[in-house]
Amino acid sequence: MDSIKQAVELARAAEVVHRPGVLSGSALAANGPLQRSAESPINEVRLRADHLEANRIVAYGTSGPNGRYYDMLRTQVLQEMDKKSWQFLAVTSPTAGCGKTVTACNLALSISRLPERSVLLVDLDLRRPAVGNYLGIDGNGGVLDVLEGRTPLSSAVLQASIGPNNMLVLPGSVSSNSSEWMASQTMGALLQTIKRDFRSRIVIFDLPPMLLGDDVISILPRMDAALLVAGVGSTTVSDIKECQRHLRRTTVVRVVVNKSTEAAGSYYGYY
């Protein structure tokens, strides 16, 4: 089956999963006063455009058509989240390699370019963390150091800048106990702290695949909404249906049908 047909099939399957919540609640408050303790990251890094491009991270500027697709995704996601004043967005996919990390990084950078928005990108893929590599930053122990009490959250969070824009990043690290960490009270406490200390920010969590362990199932109840990334060629309709069972209690703000490269001029498809 060719790539476009597969993308259309996935989009049809995604229709069932994607069911944004009923409109209610007030819009997300504009950035309030910053929380000085957590919002004064010690470590600042400048991102390099050539490194980003080499890793398909393109939404740091408005120049290319690919960046504009992420801006469209950003607007759609923020519209859904603002309706409920939501802050936490999980980025996941049915199986590995669908483009979660590329999507999460691009979405975060795109949001960071909005003058009245700010974003924290958290790498919560303790199996295959890649945010640091894709952005070209060394997070040392990152989130695992925080979970294990070696580093305070405020020191592990980096301020990543490119041009006039910046975002905060909590890089990831590999743990052989990923599943246990995701279900732990320590993780719950960390997420509560993030919610409190970064309350003016949209927080994007790059997660592992849904169907390759229980990590995502454990963490989903702590998220406000999810973005599902399906990969043409790697995600099947039955994968999406299986995800749907786990996503019954989670609002899926968008499904990205990724890697449908044969669609003319289209880098990403959204549903």
Binders of ligand ATP among residues 209 to 238 (CB under 6 A) are: 209
258 near ligand ATP, rule: CB under 6 A: yes
58 near Mg ion, rule: CB under 5 A: no
Distance in angstroms (rounded) separating the CA atoms of residues 167 and 201 = 10
Task: Compute the radius of gyration of the chain from its Cα atoms.
Answer: 17
Nearest to 85 by CA among 224, 247, 227: 224
197 near ligand ATP, rule: CB under 6 A: no
Task: For the CB of residue 239, give the shortest distance to ligand ATP in the complex, in Å.
Answer: 13
If the CB atoms of residues 192 and 261 are measured against ligand ATP, the closer one turns out to be 261
130 near Mg ion, rule: CB under 5 A: yes
Residues in contact with Mg ion, counted by CB under 5 A, come to a total of: 3
Among 87, 92, 93, 101, binds Mg ion (CB under 5 A): 101
Among 99, 139, 171, 172, binds ligand ATP (CB under 6 A): 99
Stretch that binds ligand ATP, among 9-17, 44-52, 135-143, 258-266 (CB under 6 A): 258-266
CA torsion 219→192→125→136, rounded to 10°?
A: 160
Question: Please, which contacts does 213-217 make with residues 24 or more away whose CB atoms are closer than 8 Å?
Answer: 213/127, 213/178, 213/179, 214/179, 214/182, 214/183, 215/126, 215/127, 215/178, 215/179, 215/182, 216/90, 216/92, 216/182, 216/246, 217/246
If the CB atoms of residues 97 and 141 are measured against ligand ATP, the closer one turns out to be 97
Nearest to 205 by CA among 224, 178, 184: 224
- Interface positions with ligand ATP (CB under 6 A): 56, 93, 96-102, 125, 128, 130, 209, 258-259, 261, 267-268
- Interface positions with Mg ion (CB under 5 A): 100-101, 130
